Amino acid sequence: MAVTLELLNVSKIFRKDRELVRAVDNVSMTVAPGEMVTFLGPSGCGKTTTLRMVAGFETPSGGTITIDGQDVTNVPVNRRDIGFVFQNYALFPHMSVFENVAYGLRVKGGREEEIRRKVREGLDLVGLAKAENRFPNQLSGGEQQRVALARVLVLQPRVLLMDEPLSNLDAKLRIHMRTEIRRIQKHLDITCLYVTHDQGEALTMSDRIMVMNRGKVEQIGAPLDIYSDPSSLFVADFIGQANIIPGKVLSAEGGAVSVSLPDISVSVRAVKDASFVPGDEAAVVVRPENLLPSSGDGMKGTILTATFLGGRMEYEVALESGRTVLSFDPFLPGKRMWAEGEAVSLLFDPAVAVALKA
């Protein structure tokens, strides 16, 4: 049932103010049947353009897009058999919820009872069975979002494309809808591309994440891999919070590299496909939850701010080099807390840190 989606060397060049801008630069990837892949990146990185090319709203300047082995690069949107969920939902304001959901079915044709049945099923799936006679402007944002979802799902598209569908919802609803969308996608076993700039969304929902920056693919991988093994400083910084601590390579051997940092030297994993020689500049990525304050050895610094967040303490620490780092210390009653202005040493477990080329 579910199909493969493949992008091969897809590029998009825009002309803007007489200059050519490469909005999407040579993107290639394969989405497995039933897989959910998230395009993640800052705004303007080309993720939405890529999605719109897959949908057929934009024509690639180069490269091919295939769905289920069929080249669809120049097939018009309405013949691609895709479902697209818009950031602003794009519900037809002059049609009722029922008519919105029935729209695509009516295009396909079919008996009226059949259409009715499918619309009801679709609305049931998103939990809006009772709203079918209402108009979009009578629905809340979350309800509108679910109608938009139902509207494409009833067509059983080969590929489901979503363009930041949750960004207009409030925080609580957003978290609820994440699981809801993921549940439905798995339940229907449908190949899905999902564009977001919210890393939380990307990490919780996707099978794989494609991180994009300036039109190029930075890294493609499972959420865990991307988090623990960012292949570039950009990815490290963009996914989760990261302290990037510069240092000098002392020695490199196999997958391990020994780096001299302010006050300490550590041996950490080198990022995949990177080769270091002694004397190279390196950057060690340490997640804040791995960087803990103590009064013993470690990188010397001064607490700038200390914030109590319930489950943990957040410290902003100025290292002696002037660089500011973050440290998250799980809070337990009775634990030593540091006050602003105190001198502190920072230490981390080298096993979960990674060295990148600076």
Partner 1 sequence: MNRPSALSAPEKVSPLKRDPALLPALAAIWISLAVFVLYPVLRLFLMTFMVEGQFSFANLGAVLDSWYDRQAFLNSLWLAGAVSFAGTVLGYIYAFAVTRIPLPSWLKWFLGAVTTLPLISPPFTSSIALTLSLGPNGILLKFFGIENFSFYGFWGTWMSETLTYFPVSFLTLAAVLSAIDPNLEDAGLSLGASPGRVFRTVTLPLSTPGIANSVLLLFASSLADFATPLVLAGHSFPVLPTQAYLQITGLYDLRGGAALSFLLLLPAMGVYALQRFWVGRKNYVTISGKTGSRSGFKSKGKLAEGLVLGVCFAVTAFILYLYSLILWGALVKVWGVDNSMTWENFRYVFTHGRKAIADTLSIAAVATPLGGLMAVVVGYIAQRKRFFGTRAMEFFSMLNYALPGTVVGIAYVIAFNEKPILLTGTMTILVAAYMFRYHAAGIRAVIASLHQIDPSIEEASASLGAGAARTFFRVTVPLVVPAVLMGMRYLFIHCMTAISATIFLVSVKWSLLTTRILECMTELQFAQACAFSVVLILLVFGATAVLTGLTRFATRRISGEGGRG
Does 141 sit near partner 1 (CB under 8 A)? yes
Does 190 sit near partner 1 (CB under 8 A)? no
Interface stretch with partner 1, choices 86-94, 170-178, 248-256, 348-356 (CB under 8 A): 86-94
The residue within the footprint of partner 1, chosen from 30, 74, 260, 295 (CB under 8 A), is 74
| Closest to 280 measured CA to CA, from 252, 299, 313 | 252
CB of 41 to partner 1, least distance (A): 20
Does 160 sit near partner 1 (CB under 8 A)? no
Q: Which is nearer to partner 1, 26 or 168 (CB)?
A: 168
Does 139 sit near partner 1 (CB under 8 A)? yes
Neighbours of 334 (CB within 10 A): 5
Q: Which is nearer to partner 1, 51 or 249 (CB)?
A: 51
Q: What share of the chain is helix, strand, coil (3-state, %, to 5)?
A: 30, 35, 35
Interface stretch with partner 1, choices 66-74, 219-227, 314-322, 339-347 (CB under 8 A): 66-74
CB of 141 to partner 1, least distance (A): 5
The residue within the footprint of partner 1, chosen from 5, 82, 285, 344 (CB under 8 A), is 82
Count of residues that interact with partner 1, criterion CB under 8 A: 51
Neighbours of 233 (CB within 10 A): 17
Residues 223, 225, 228, 230: is their CA dihedral positive or negative? Answer: negative
Question: Going residue by residue from 22 to 61, which x/- string records binding to partner 1, judged by CB under 8 A?
Answer: ---------------------------------xxx-xxx
Question: Going residue by residue from 88 to 117, which x/- string records binding to partner 1, judged by CB under 8 A?
Answer: xxxxxxx--------xx--xx---------
User: In DSSP terms, which residues pair with 5 in a beta bridge?
Assistant: 31, 67
| Closest to 308 measured CA to CA, from 286, 288, 347, 337 | 337
CB of 212 to partner 1, least distance (A): 21
207 CB-contact burial (10 Å; exposed 0-12 / middle 13-18 / buried 19+): middle
CB of 58 to partner 1, least distance (A): 10
DSSP-based three-state secondary structure for 112:
helix
Distance of CA 51 to the CA centre of its chain: 13
Interface stretch with partner 1, choices 145-153, 206-214, 315-323, 336-344 (CB under 8 A): 145-153
DSSP 8-state secondary structure symbol assigned to residue 358: -
- Helices 141-153 + 112-125 axis angle, to 10: 130
DSSP 120-148: HHHHHHTT-GGGTTS-GGGS-HHHHHHHH
Which residues of the shown chain bind partner 1 in the complex (CB under 8 A)? Answer: 55-57, 59-64, 69-84, 86-94, 103-104, 107-108, 135-137, 139-141, 144, 148, 151-152, 155, 161, 168
